[in-house]
Structure 1
Amino acid sequence: MAPEQDTFPPEVAAAMQGQLPAVAERTVAAIVVEVPSYTEAFTGVMGRKIENAVQLALGAFLELATASGGGDPSRPIGPALEGAYALGRGEARSGRTMDALLAAYRVGARVAWRHMSETAVEAGMPAGSLARFAELVFAYIDQLSAASASGHADQLDSSGRLRRRDLERLAELLLTGAPPYDLTTAAERADWTPPRTLTAVLVPEARARGALGVLDVRTLQAGQDLPGTEPGAERSVLLVPDADGYARAQLVRALTGREAVVGPARPWQQARSSYSRALRALQLDLRPDGDLPVDTELRLSDLVLRADGEALADLRAQVLAPLDGLGPGPREKLVETLRAWLLHHGRREKIATELFVHPQTVRYRMGQLRDLYGDRLEDPQSVLELTLALGAADR
C-alpha cells in the first residue's frame, strides 16, 4: 500500500530534486562505512550503478510525495518496488542474508532524511510539515525493505527447490547405475562434491526426516519411486557419504530404533550395488537385532543362503528326508540337535549349553541321528549340504 500523499510546494520539490545526485552519493558512502559487507560491492563501477539506483528510488519517492491527489499513486512507486524486489533476489543469489540489506536500508533512510529535510527547510517547507515528510520517507523505505525481503525469500525458495530436484535426480541416477560421465555431470549440476564412498540406507518413509537429521549433511535422498520396490512400499533410500571403516559403527548407532536396513559401503559411482544389497535384505525380511538396524555386512551368510529361497527349501527337504518318518516333536528336537552339532563341530558340552539339555541327552540324540543318517554324517559333501540347509534355519 502506498503512503498517503501530501502535496509539497513546487519550489521545495525542485530543490530536493536538484539535490538527488548528492544525496545518493552520500547515502552510498554512509552504507559503505556502516555496513562492512558492502564495502567491496559498492566500489568502482558497481558503486556508481548503485548510486544511480538510489537516485532513481529517491526520485520515485519525490514524485509520489509531490503528486496531486488525482494521479495514480502506484505508478511512481511501482518500478522502485520492482527494483527492490530484484535487489533482494540478487542478494540471495550472492549468498548474503537480508541482515546486511536491511541495515543498508536503515542507513540510507537516515542519511536521505537528514539531507533532504535540510534542503526542504532551506527551500521554505514549514517546520510543521517535517513530521509528515518523515512519515512519508520511512513508510517508503519500509515498502522497499518489504519488497526486497520478498524477493530474497522467493529466490531462496526457488533455488532451494531447484537444488533439491537436482540432488534427487543425482540420487536416482546413482540407484539406476547411470554411466560415470552422467553421474559426474549430475553431481556438478547439483553442486554436490562426491565422497569416496556411499552407503545405501533404507528406512520407512515416515522416519526419513528424522534419520537425515543425524546423518552427514551431504546425504542424498531419492524420490519415492525407488527402482526395484513395489508401489506403496513407503520406504526411502538415503545415500550416506563416507560411512565405511570406523564410521560405519557410528552410522549404525545413529540409526538405532529407526527400522533401517544398511547396505555396504561402495565407491560413490557404484552406489547401486549398496542399494541392491540393502533392498535384497529387505525383501528377504531379515530381522534386526533389537533396536539396531539390519547391518547387511553382518548378515552376509543369511543373504547367501537365502539368495534362492526355493532351492534352499528343496535342499532342506532333501537332506532332512531321513527324519520324515518321525513325529513333529521328536523331529524338531533332532533337527535342532543336528544343527547345533554341525555349528559346534560335535563339541558335546557346547551343544548341551546351547540346547539347555544334559550332555547325555545330546549323546542319546546323536545316536539316533547316526542310526538314521549312517555314514553320511562323516561324508564332507553331506555335511556341507546339511550345514547350508540348516544354517539359515529360524533366522
Structure 2
Amino acid sequence: MVDLEDKALRLPATVVSQMRSGMAGVAEQTIAAVISQVPSYHDPFQGRMGRNIEMAVTVALDGFLDLAARQEGIDAGDQIEAVMEAAYELGRGEARSGRTMDALAQAYRVGARTSWRGMSAAAVESGLDATTIARLAELVFTFIDELSDASVSGHADELATSGRLRQQLRDRLAIRLLDGSPETELVAAAERADWEPPELLTAVIVADSRVRPLRGLLDARTLHLPEDAAGLTLEPGTSVLLVPGGADRDRRALGRLLAEADAVVGPARPWVGARSSYERARRAHELGLTGDTDTHLADLVVQADPDARADLRARVLAPLADLSPASRDKLTATLRAWLLHHGRREEVAQALFVHPQTVRYRMNQLRDLYGDGLTDPQLVRDATIALA
C-alpha cells in the first residue's frame, strides 16, 4: 500500500475551503456519472445499496480534502483509516449482494475521472500553480487506487467468510438429511444454506482420495460428509456424497464417473428421503459390495439379517441333522441346485458336476427325508432364501 501521508499536499486553508464548498456538486456529478456509465449500478442506486454508495462517495471526497489539507505535525492516520474502512465495507457489501468487483472497479474509474474534473476546475479557480495541480492529480488517482484496493480486500474477505459459513450450513444440512430429520426442518436448513434442493438425491460412498476429482465433475449442489461426520459409522478413509439427480440417464452417467472409484451407489430417493439411499449404500459397503446397489438387491435382502438367515437355514436343513457331515453337505448342495434350476435334472447335474443319475438318487434321499415338504410352497420359499 502506498503511504498516502507522504503524498499529502498541505494545501492552503483558503484553497481547501473553496474546493470543499464545491464538493456537494462534485459528489452529485460523480454519482450521476456512475449511474449513467456503470449499468450494473442503475438498480442498486434505487435502494439501500445506493444510499451506502452515495455516503461512500461523500466520505471519500471529504477524506481526500482532509488529506490534501493536512498541515505539518498533524496525524492523518485516523482520517485515512476511516475512509479506507468505508471502502472496505463497500467491497463487502458488493459481495453480499452477489456482485463481482468488476462493477465497483469500473465505478472507481468513472468516479476518479469525474471528481478530478470538478476538483481541478476548483483548483485552477483558486490560483494553484501547475506543479501543485499536477501533484493534486497524482494524489487523486493514488487515493482512488487505494480505495479500490481496500474494496477488493473487503470483497475477498466477505466471500471467504460467507463461503465458510455457507459450507458449514450445508454440512449441517447433509447431517440432517442422513439423520432423517422432518421435512419442515430440512426445507428450513436448505434455505439457510442457500442450497436449491433437487428432486432426487443419490448417496455415494467413496474413498476420500477420490472425492476431490469427483466434486469437479458432479453437480455443484453435491453435499459431502467425511467418515468422521456426526452420525456416520463408516470405516476411516471413506466419505459420503449426496449427488443430485437419479433418473436412468443420470444414473448411467454417474456410473461411468465412478467406474474406477470402487464406490457404492445407493438408490435415487426424493431429496428429503436421502437417508434411505445412504442406509442401503452403507449396508452394501459393509457387505463388501461395490457399484450400483440396484444390481445387488437380492444379496442385500438375503443378508439383511444374518442371524435370521442362519436360523432359517438351520430350520430348513433340520431333516438332514442326523446325517454325516459329508452326506449332509452333498444333499444340501443338491437341494440348493434343485431349487435354483427348478428341478431340471440335467441342469442340476451340470451345476454339481455329477451324473444325472446321481442327482436322481440324491433327490430320492431328500424326498425320503422331507416327505411332502418339497412340494410345499412355503418350504420351497424358505429353502430358496436360506440356501441362496
Match of 2:121 among 118, 125, 128: 118
Offset at residue 87 of structure 1 (A) = 0.7
- Are residues 1:234 and 2:237 paired? yes
TM-score w.r.t. the length of structure 1 is 0.83
Larger mean Cα displacement after TM superposition, 198-207 or 343-352? 343-352
- Are residues 1:363 and 2:356 paired? yes
Offset at residue 36 of structure 1 (A) = 0.7
TM-score w.r.t. the length of structure 2 is 0.85
1:34-53 equivalent positions in 2, closer than 5 A: 34-43=37-46, 50-53=53-56
2:78 counterpart residue number: 75
Write the distance in 2 (CA, Å) between the matches of 1:49 and 1:254: 48
The answer as to whether partners of 1:12 and 1:123 remain within 8 angstroms in 2 is: yes
Write the distance in 1 (CA, Å) between the matches of 2:349 and 2:359: 12
Match of 1:373 among 366, 370, 376: 366
Write the distance in 2 (CA, Å) between the matches of 1:49 and 1:197: 42
- Are residues 1:388 and 2:385 paired? yes
1:15-54 equivalent positions in 2, closer than 5 A: 15-43=18-46, 50-54=53-57
- Are residues 1:259 and 2:262 paired? yes
1:7-33 Cα deviation digits (max 9, x unpaired): 223333233222211211111111112
1:193 counterpart residue number: 196
- Are residues 1:250 and 2:253 paired? yes
1:326 counterpart residue number: 326
User: Are the structure 2 counterparts of residues 362 and 313 from structure 1 closer, same or farther at C-alpha, using a change threshold of 3 Å?
Assistant: farther
Larger mean Cα displacement after TM superposition, 342-351 or 259-268? 342-351
Write the distance in 1 (CA, Å) between the matches of 2:81 and 2:122: 26
User: Are the structure 2 counterparts of residues 362 and 310 from structure 1 closer, same or farther at C-alpha, using a change threshold of 3 Å?
Assistant: farther
The answer as to whether partners of 2:94 and 2:100 remain within 8 angstroms in 1 is: yes
1:303-333 Cα deviation digits (max 9, x unpaired): 1111222443455566376885439xx968x
User: Are the structure 2 counterparts of residues 323 and 338 from structure 1 closer, same or farther at C-alpha, using a change threshold of 3 Å?
Assistant: farther
User: Are the structure 2 counterparts of residues 46 and 146 from structure 1 closer, same or farther at C-alpha, using a change threshold of 3 Å?
Assistant: closer
Offset at residue 117 of structure 1 (A) = 2.1
SS at match of 2:260: coil
Identity %: 50
Q: Give, as a single letter, the amino acid of the residue that structure 2 aligns with 1:363.
A: P
Larger mean Cα displacement after TM superposition, 165-174 or 209-218? 209-218
SS at match of 1:222: strand
- Are residues 1:98 and 2:101 paired? yes
Write the distance in 1 (CA, Å) between the matches of 2:52 and 2:380: 86
Offset at residue 226 of structure 1 (A) = 4.6
Offset at residue 54 of structure 1 (A) = 1.3
The answer as to whether partners of 1:15 and 1:119 remain within 8 angstroms in 2 is: yes
- Are residues 1:299 and 2:296 paired? yes
2:145 counterpart residue number: 142
1:345 counterpart residue number: 342
User: Are the structure 2 counterparts of residues 29 and 200 from structure 1 closer, same or farther at C-alpha, using a change threshold of 3 Å?
Assistant: same
Write the distance in 1 (CA, Å) between the matches of 2:362 and 2:134: 106
1:175-217 Cα deviation digits (max 9, x unpaired): 1122232222222222333333332222222222333333332
User: Are the structure 2 counterparts of residues 366 and 80 from structure 1 closer, same or farther at C-alpha, using a change threshold of 3 Å?
Assistant: same
The answer as to whether partners of 2:177 and 2:273 remain within 8 angstroms in 1 is: yes
SS at match of 1:178: coil
1:132 counterpart residue number: 135
- Are residues 1:212 and 2:205 paired? no
SS at match of 1:91: helix
User: Are the structure 2 counterparts of residues 311 and 106 from structure 1 closer, same or farther at C-alpha, using a change threshold of 3 Å?
Assistant: same
User: Are the structure 2 counterparts of residues 88 and 267 from structure 1 closer, same or farther at C-alpha, using a change threshold of 3 Å?
Assistant: same
Larger mean Cα displacement after TM superposition, 144-153 or 263-272? 263-272
1:309 counterpart residue number: 306
Match of 1:61 among 64, 76, 80: 64
RMSD: 3.0
User: Are the structure 2 counterparts of residues 50 and 166 from structure 1 closer, same or farther at C-alpha, using a change threshold of 3 Å?
Assistant: closer
Write the distance in 1 (CA, Å) between the matches of 2:250 and 2:60: 56
Q: Give, as a single letter, the amino acid of the residue that structure 2 aligns with 1:240.
A: V
Write the distance in 2 (CA, Å) between the matches of 1:15 and 1:322: 116
Q: Give, as a single letter, the amino acid of the residue that structure 1 aligns with 2:170.
A: L
1:42-93 Cα deviation digits (max 9, x unpaired): 3588756644431221111121122123121312211111111111111111
Would you say how many aligned residue pairs link Structure 1 and Structure 2? 377
The answer as to whether partners of 1:211 and 1:258 remain within 8 angstroms in 2 is: no
1:315-353 Cα deviation digits (max 9, x unpaired): 5566376885439xx968x87666444323244665677
Larger mean Cα displacement after TM superposition, 263-272 or 140-149? 263-272
